[in-house]
Amino acid sequence: MYHRNKGVYVRPAIRQETHMIPIRTTAVYFSATGTNKKNVEAIAEVFDADYKTIDLTRYDSAWEAHSFERDELVVIGAPVYSGRIYCGAAERFHTLHGDQTLCLITVTYGNRHYDDALLELKDLMMKQGFHVIAGAAMIGEHTYGDIEKGRPNDQDLLETTRFAEKIRARLASDQVSEPVIPGKHPYRDGGNGGGFRPLTDDTCNRCHICEKECPQGAIHEDCVTIDGNRCIACFRCIRICPVGAKNINTPEYLSFAGDFSKKLAARRENEYFFS
Higher pLDDT, 131 or 15: 131
Rg (CA), the chain: 19
* Angle, alpha carbons 49-52-55 (nearest 5°): 135
Contact 215, 59 (CB under 8 A): yes
Taking each helix axis from N to C end, the angle separating 154-172 and 35-47, rounded to the nearest 10 degrees, works out to 40
- Tens digits of per-residue pLDDT, 66-91? 999 999 999 999 999 999 999 999 99
Three-state secondary structure string covering 182-234: CCCCCCCCCCCCCCCCCEECCCCCCCCHHHHHCCCCCECCCCCCECCCCCCCC
Residue 1 has pLDDT above 90, yes or no: no
| Mean pLDDT, the chain, integer | 91
Predicted confidence at residue 9, as pLDDT, reads 40
Residue 148 has pLDDT above 90, yes or no: yes
- Tens digits of per-residue pLDDT, 100-119? 999 999 999 998 999 999 99
Q: Where does the pLDDT of residue 164 fall: very low under 50, low under 70, confident under 90, or very high at 90 and above? A: very high
CA 195 to each of CA 85, 200, 252, 255: distance values in angstroms, whole numbers, following the listed order: 17, 17, 11, 14
CA 252 to each of CA 126, 154, 164, 196, 258: distance values in angstroms, whole numbers, following the listed order: 41, 34, 41, 9, 10
Predicted confidence at residue 10, as pLDDT, reads 41
Nearest to 115 by CA among 131, 137, 98: 137
DSSP 143-168: SSSSSSTT-S-HHHHHHHHHHHHHHH
Q: Where does the pLDDT of residue 140 fall: very low under 50, low under 70, confident under 90, or very high at 90 and above? A: very high
Predicted confidence at residue 72, as pLDDT, reads 97
CA 13 to each of CA 5, 47, 259: distance values in angstroms, whole numbers, following the listed order: 15, 11, 45
- For residue 26, the surrounding DSSP H or E stretch is strand 24-29
Residue 200 has pLDDT above 80, yes or no: yes
Residue 62 has pLDDT above 90, yes or no: no
Predicted confidence at residue 34, as pLDDT, reads 93
DSSP 86-108: -HHHHHHHTTEEESSEEEEEEEE
| DSSP structural state of residue 116 | T
